[in-house]
Structure formats: C-alpha cells, structure tokens
Amino acid sequence: MNNLDDQIEPVIALDDDSVMQYLLQNPDFFIRNARSVEQMHVPHPVKGSTSLVEWQLGRQRHQIAQLEEEITLLMEQASINESLFGRMIELQATLAAASSLQDMLNRLQRWARSLGLAGANVRLFSEGWRIGAPSDFTHLAVSRSAFESMRIQRLGETPHYLGGLNGPELLLLLPQAKAVGSVALSLMGEQGELGVLIFSSRDPQHYQPGMGTVLLDQLAKMLPGLLERWIERV
C-alpha cells in the first residue's frame, strides 16, 4: 500500500498568469463550459456583482461609445479644417490681388476683422529686408536682436505663441494698438528670420496656449512670397 502522501496529487498553485495562459491555449473553453459561464458573476463597482456575459456586454458598449465619441471629434475637426482651408484660399486670392504693399496690408487687416479680431499686423526684421529710409515702410521694421529676448521667453523653440503680452512687448510689436487682450504670433521664414505675423484680439481669453496653429502656420509661410513683390530681401 502506498504511503498516504503518495495518494495525494500535488496542488497546482493558480495565479492570473496561469489562468490567462490556459485560456489562451484553450480558446474553446467558454464554448465547452457555456452553462457555467452564464452562471458566473464578477464584482461590479456599482451593482455589487453582475454576470460575466453582462459584464462583457457592458465593456463592449463602453468601447463602442468611446469609438463613437472619437469619430464625432474627428468629423468636427475635419469640418474645422475644411473651413480653415476655405478661408485660407479666400485670403490668398484677396492678398494676391493687392495693387500695393499698403493695399495688401489693408486687405489682411480687413480679413482679420471679418473674423471678429482686433487686427492683423506684420513686423519685419530689419536684418532681413531693405526697408530702411527712404522706404515708406520703415514703420514695419523691428530689430531681430530687440525681439530675441521676447522670442526666447514667449516662443522658445516653437514658431508660434498664443496668449497675452506685457506692456514693453506690446510697445515693441504693436505700438499703435489699443486694448489688446491676447495675440497669436507666428515667425516668418524657414528659420523665423524674416519677421512676425501678429493677430490680436481684445479678448484676453481668445488666444491661449494649446490652441491649433494650422492656419497661422500656412499664413506665415505664404506672406513672405507676397511681400517680396514690393520689398527686396537682404
């Protein structure tokens, strides 16, 4: 007669990994044990417990709801992008039809105001353009070296800044502007070496960090080519 210990089968310790491996290796487990599965209950944070089938259906409903929300957001973003693209084409045609630099700047200003903004301005780095005296557009010039500290503080390594400006910063970029609450700044040029495109709003909350900059990026790339019709590059 065998020893009693020999008659006792060793107990296999089960943990999450062991159960998971078994289920992965036996994909028909739930089919073979359908009746038992229907009777299983799992903890639920609200109901106390729920059947395994109901729990799985709940997860699927949650996943479907998440997918529907993501699709809705994508559709909304596509609609916004389509609208921005339309505005961009409209503005490009308007600026290209300008008869002079001042006419182009006026058209840009009117376009910005049609969007409810306070205005749009262009400041050109004097190191990159020939706009010194006797040019009629010396008021557009700003020294890149004078702008550098502001670039470091506000823009860092990015080509855009959205938010508020302090008094000295406004005096540097928008000396004639009044009641500026927030701005969108975009550097022009491959290395940001040509100047700054500025959209301003009286609303301090209109431009905030984290907002999209697709339209700003396209405008900053488009304007230098139009400016070259009237101003010579250094």
Contact of 112 with 87, CB cutoff 8 Å: no
Give domain status of residue 61, yes or no: yes
Give domain status of residue 133, yes or no: yes
**Per-residue confidence (pLDDT) for residue 76, from 0 to 100:** 60
**pLDDT greater than 90 at residue 120:** yes
Distance of alpha carbon 218 from alpha carbon 101, whole angstroms: 20
Q: What are the pLDDT digits (tens) for 85-109?
A: 777 788 888 899 999 999 999 999 9
Give domain status of residue 207, yes or no: yes
Residue 185's alpha-carbon distances to 81, 84, 86, 104, 190, in angstroms, are 20, 18, 21, 19, 15
Q: What are the pLDDT digits (tens) for 22-45?
A: 878 887 777 777 677 666 666 656
Give domain status of residue 141, yes or no: yes
Contact of 94 with 223, CB cutoff 8 Å: no
84 lies in the same domain as 112: no
Say how many domains are in the chain.
2
Please report where in the chains the tokens 């903004």 appear, as a residue.
Answer: 117
- Written as one letter, the residue type at 157 is E
Classify the C-alpha dihedral 146-150-151-156 as positive or negative: positive
158 lies in the same domain as 169: yes
Give domain status of residue 5, yes or no: no
Give domain status of residue 45, yes or no: no
Q: DSSP letters of 82-119?
A: HHHHHHHHHHHHHHHT-SSHHHHHHHHHHHHHHTT-SE
Q: What are the pLDDT digits (tens) for 71-80?
A: 766 666 555 5
Classify the C-alpha dihedral 172-173-178-184 as positive or negative: negative
81 lies in the same domain as 130: no
Contact of 174 with 200, CB cutoff 8 Å: yes
Tell me the average pLDDT across 203-223: 89
pLDDT over 90 for what percent of the chain?
42
Give domain status of residue 218, yes or no: yes
Q: Which CATH number covers residue 119?
A: 3.30.450.40
Which residues, including other chains, have CB under 8 Å from residue 152's CB and lie 6 or more apart? Answer: none
Give domain status of residue 168, yes or no: yes
108 lies in the same domain as 71: no
State the residue range of the domain holding 79.
50-96
105 lies in the same domain as 72: no
Q: Which two tokens stand for residue 50?
A: 């729920």
Q: What are the pLDDT digits (tens) for 144-168?
A: 999 999 999 999 999 999 999 999 9
180 band by pLDDT with thresholds 50, 70 and 90: very high
Distance of alpha carbon 82 from alpha carbon 80, whole angstroms: 5
162 lies in the same domain as 196: yes
